[in-house]
Amino acid sequence: MSAGAEQKLAGLAATDISIPGTLDTAQSKLCYLTIDVAGAASVDELDDALDLGKLTLLDVLATLDDEGVVQRTADGRYATY
């Protein structure tokens, strides 16, 4: 995640955060929020930012995609709808 995205995330107030109610795990919420703030993120960028491990991230991203809250872009990154 870029330094600008990290600053944007750090500056959010709790009232500014909107996470879909269908997300029920901390990992899915964290991934969704990180992608939303960054605008889009690759698996490598998410791994660098969140240190969850690529296998975990791929599982979480598949779930987020199945739930219709993120989409994979043409360049292989993930973005929120």
Q: What is the mean pLDDT of each run of 10 residues along the chain (81 residues)?
A: 59 69 94 94 96 96 96 96 90
52-to-14, 31, 60, 77 alpha-carbon distances in Å = 23, 10, 10, 17
Q: What is the pTM of this model?
A: 0.80
Predicted local distance difference test score (pLDDT) of residue 26: 94
Q: Where are the domains of the chain?
A: 26-81
Beta strands in 1-81 (DSSP E): 70-72, 78-80
- Locate tokens 């989409």: which residue? 71
- Looking at CATH, the fold of the domain delimited by 26-81 is given as Arc Repressor Mutant, subunit A (1.10.10)
Predicted local distance difference test score (pLDDT) of residue 38: 92
